[in-house]
Every structure is written in C-alpha cells, then in structure tokens.
Amino acid sequence: MQKIKTALVSYGMSGKVFHAPFIHAHPGFELTGAWERTHKNIQADYPYTKSYASLEELLADDIDLVIVNSPNITHFDYAKKALMAGKHIVVEKPLTVRVSEGEELKRIAEQQGKLLCPYQNRRWNSDYKTVKRILDSGCLGDIVEAEIRYDRYTPAFSYKKHKETGEVGTGIVYDLGSHLIDQALQLFGKPDSLFADIAITREGSLTDDYVELLLFYKDLRVRLKSGFFIREPLPGYILYGKKGAFLKNRADVQEDDLLKGIKPTVANWGIEPESQQGLLHTEIDGKIIREQVPTETGDYMGYFEALYQSVVNGKPLAVKAEESIAVVNIIEKAFESHRLKKVIDL
C-alpha cells in the first residue's frame, strides 16, 4: 500500500487528539513528525517521528501531506507556504478567517496541482450522521424548521491564550460556529439571507461566546445556537417537518474517548449509548409512530480513509475547499448582520 508521509504543523490538543491517532492507525499514512515550538512531545507518543524546529525545516523534508492545525489566524500563511512547497494540505476549520484568503488558497492549490482538504471532522459524528439519515429518508416530509445547537458550560477562559485575544478568527462564531454552519449547509444548502445575534457573556472576555444565527430559506428557517453558559443542554438537533419531528442529543463519544487516550482501533469505536438515541415522531405509510431510532456509528477514520483515496487514487475530496469558503462567507455575513442589526441577503 502506498504511504502518504504526513506532518503536523502543531502537536497540541488538536494534533495529539484529532490527527495523530488516526494517521498512526491508518495503514496508508506515515506520521513523519510535527513542528514543535516549545514543548517536544510527539516523540514520547510516537518514537519514530521527528520534532521539527521550524516550519521551513518541516517543509524541506520528504513529506507528501501537511496538516495545518495551528491557530486560525495562521491558517492562510502556513497553508500557502505548504502548497508553494509542493505539499498536499489539510486545514483545520475554519479554513481561513477571510473569504478572500480561502479563495486564494483554492487558486494556489489548483495551480500547484495539490489537494486542499478542509478538516470538517464532525460530518463523521454519530449524531450528525443519524440526522442526515433521517432527513434523507424523507420520513419527516418537507422540513419547515430546524435548530442545530452546540451547548457548553465553560465559563472559564481557555488556557490557550491565543483563543482569548479578540482578534479576527477567535471566538465562538469561528470556533463552534464553523461546525454548525457547515452542517446546516450540508443538510439544507445555501440560505437566501441571514440574521445574527452575537454577544460576549463572560465578564472580562474579549471574544464572542454566544451566537444565535437564523438562516432564511424559501420555505424553511434554520436556527444555529451556541453559548458557554448552558449547564443543561437542549437536544443538539431539532427537526420539524410537515409529517413529523426528530430530536437528537449531541452525543458522539469520539472526542471524549480520544481525550481519555482511547485509540480509534478499539472494538465498538464510535458507538453511542442506547440512552442517547434520537426520538422520531412521524407518520409512515399511514401509521403514526413515536419511537427511539438506532444511532449511526461515529467514524473520524472515515475522513482519513476518504482523504487517502483522494491523494492516492484521485477520488473526489470528501470535504471541498469551496464548501469551507462558503462557511467563512456565512461567518463574515453574520458579523455584518450583528454590526448593522439587520437581515443580510446572500
């Protein structure tokens, strides 16, 4: 099997939890190393790897793929340098902090003949996959209202100081909003217009930590919400159609397991507890049903398998640059809507 030599631009939480375990476990990837600025940790976890002292040293090595998983504001610069060095790239969400930067990266990737694959891993969450299955089945009828939430109770400031500076690219809209918006666009397509309410609720904070984003479609309204003071969360997905409803908790177990050091190769990976199954209340073949429905299996490895097939066998990318550019466009329009306190046409 052809190996894709892969290096990480950072080996913090993202590299250690979301990338390295899958690259190490997938037989088609070879984890080469990571750029480590202060703490040198990757060799303790993966002794065969290298700890690069600089991005230039990393890019000069015999590497096929670079994963740009550094702070949001650096995505454009690091990704551009990696593409110009002749590497395929994966870029964490958000792809960039400005639409113009994402479009430039897309042009450079095309000119260089290299792949640019945004990392929208939560498309492989068990909860999202279940919601998509229910929608695709048509059992709810035409959807008239939907709500996607990402509730947290995290009033303390992040230990990652770069997340609390208040500069462009920080805050809940760029962070959790990138997931919410991506899923809304995947499930329902591009909206006609939007309205956003964005706030700072933590005393002394410089970054936004509350967002309510309303997406307007011709016959549908989609509400996206996230905040840091939700001690008792609501269902992460609420769908209302002309025939029925579906409610699903945000209950994917993969991140929690990865944080515990559990590897994605274990049996029963990505399986939610049955207690978290979604509630379906609808009419099928003239019969009213109200029942729990089985949950899909979460599988972040699916992202890396799709990536492997794209790099080695030329298969279409599972996450395309233009899809993530569309997410950043919604983010930019959301801040415009909040600033002007008006509905913004797209």
Within-domain flag for 307: no
Within-domain flag for 136: yes
Within-domain flag for 308: no
Question: Which pLDDT does position 224 carry in this prediction?
Answer: 98
Within-domain flag for 324: no
pLDDT confidence tier of residue 5, bands split at 50, 70 and 90: very high
Which of 119, 148, 168 represents a domain boundary (last residue)?
119
Q: Are residues 191 and 340 in the same domain?
A: yes
Helical packing angle, 321-340 and 176-188, nearest 10°: 110
Number of domain units in the chain = 2
Q: How far apart are CA 5 and CA 87, in angstroms?
A: 10
Q: Quick check: 34 and 51 in contact, CB under 8 A?
A: yes
Average pLDDT over residues 164-185: 96
Q: Are residues 173 and 71 in the same domain?
A: no
Q: Are residues 236 and 265 in the same domain?
A: yes
Q: Quick check: 213 and 334 in contact, CB under 8 A?
A: yes
* Domain membership of residue 17 as a residue range: 4-119
pTM assigned to the model: 0.96
Q: How far apart are CA 54 and CA 36, in angstroms?
A: 8
Instruction: Provide the phi-psi class of 141: left if phi over 0, else alpha when psi is between -120 and 50, else beta.
Output: left
Question: Which pLDDT does position 98 carry in this prediction?
Answer: 98
Within-domain flag for 323: no
pLDDT confidence tier of residue 159, bands split at 50, 70 and 90: confident
Arithmetic mean of pLDDT over the chain: 97
Task: Express each pLDDT in 241-300 by its tens digit.
Answer: 999 999 999 999 999 999 999 999 999 999 999 999 999 999 999 999 999 999 999 999
Q: Are residues 278 and 236 in the same domain?
A: yes
The residue ranges of DSSP E strands in the chain, in sequence order, are 4-8, 29-35, 50-52, 65-68, 88-92, 116-119, 143-151, 193-199, 210-216, 221-227, 237-241, 245-248, 278-284, 287-293, 344-345
Q: Are residues 27 and 151 in the same domain?
A: no
Question: Which pLDDT does position 289 carry in this prediction?
Answer: 96
Q: Quick check: 7 and 68 in contact, CB under 8 A?
A: no
CATH number for 205? 3.30.360.10
Contacts of 293 (CB under 8 A, 6+ apart): 130, 134, 246, 277, 278, 279, 280
Task: Express each pLDDT in 78-89 by its tens digit.
Answer: 999 999 999 999
Q: Are residues 35 and 112 in the same domain?
A: yes
Q: Are residues 114 and 130 in the same domain?
A: no
Task: Express each pLDDT in 306-317 by its tens digit.
Answer: 999 999 999 999
pLDDT confidence tier of residue 163, bands split at 50, 70 and 90: confident
Average pLDDT over residues 205-209: 95
Which of 103, 119, 135 represents a domain boundary (last residue)?
119
Which of 89, 119, 149 represents a domain boundary (last residue)?
119
Paired sense of beta strands 221-227 and 210-216, if any: antiparallel
CA-wise closest residue to 211 among 149, 130, 140, 122: 149
Q: How far apart are CA 91 and CA 260, in angstroms?
A: 24
Within-domain flag for 64: yes
Q: Per the structure block, which two tokens stand in for 54?
A: 């600089």
pLDDT at 62 over 90: yes
Torsion on CA atoms 227, 337, 160, 11, rounded to nearest 10: 110
Q: How far apart are CA 173 and CA 334, in angstroms?
A: 9
Alpha-carbon dihedral sign for residues 165, 170, 176, 180: positive
Q: Are residues 115 and 134 in the same domain?
A: no
Q: Are residues 42 and 147 in the same domain?
A: no
Q: Per the structure block, which two tokens stand in for 42?
A: 């990757």
Q: What Å distances lie between residue 241 and 126, 141, 142, 312, CA to CA?
A: 21, 5, 5, 41
Question: Which pLDDT does position 1 carry in this prediction?
Answer: 80
Within-domain flag for 304: no
pLDDT at 161 over 90: no
Q: Are residues 93 and 131 in the same domain?
A: no
Within-domain flag for 191: yes
Q: Are residues 103 and 206 in the same domain?
A: no
CATH number for 41? 3.40.50.720
Q: Are residues 78 and 152 in the same domain?
A: no
